[in-house]
Amino acid sequence: MLNNLETLFAPAKKLAELNKAQFEKVVAAQQAAAKEYVALTEARIKAAAAIKDIEGLNTFVKEQVELAQSGFEKVQAESKVLIEDAKSYNDEVIKLVQEGNAVMTEEVKETVKKAAKKAA
């Protein structure tokens, strides 16, 4: 009936590989962010524990404000990258679905032609 299963399932296989790669990418990014956050937290705890006087407290608070600002800027930059990556992923999924539909349509047409020839 459907002669070339490999051709038929190729787009689905590509989609599965794309999903796996995307998932691995997201997990790796989350792991890196978690490690970075843990290191930052540890450093800030040490900095807080090292406060001995009002000058040290002022320095610590100033550093916290700077970290908050740089953290906000980093989140904005990473969000832009994430949006672009999601758009690229979405475009690739749409392409693969369209490819799968085209392959399926062609296979169905060929099957119908063969069935019509046998019936005639």
Given a cut of 90, is residue 20 above it in pLDDT?
yes
The percentage of residues in the chain with a pLDDT greater than 70, rounded to a whole number, is 97
Amino acid at site 19: N
Q: What's the rounded Cα separation, in Å, for the pair 81 and 75?
A: 10
pTM above 0.85, yes or no: no
Where along the chain do its domains lie? 28-111
Residue 59, number of CB atoms within 10 A of its CB: 14
Question: What residues have CB less than 8 Å from 118, skipping those under 6 apart?
Answer: none
Is residue 85 classed exposed, middle or buried when 0-12, 13-18 and 19+ CB atoms within 10 A define those classes? Answer: middle
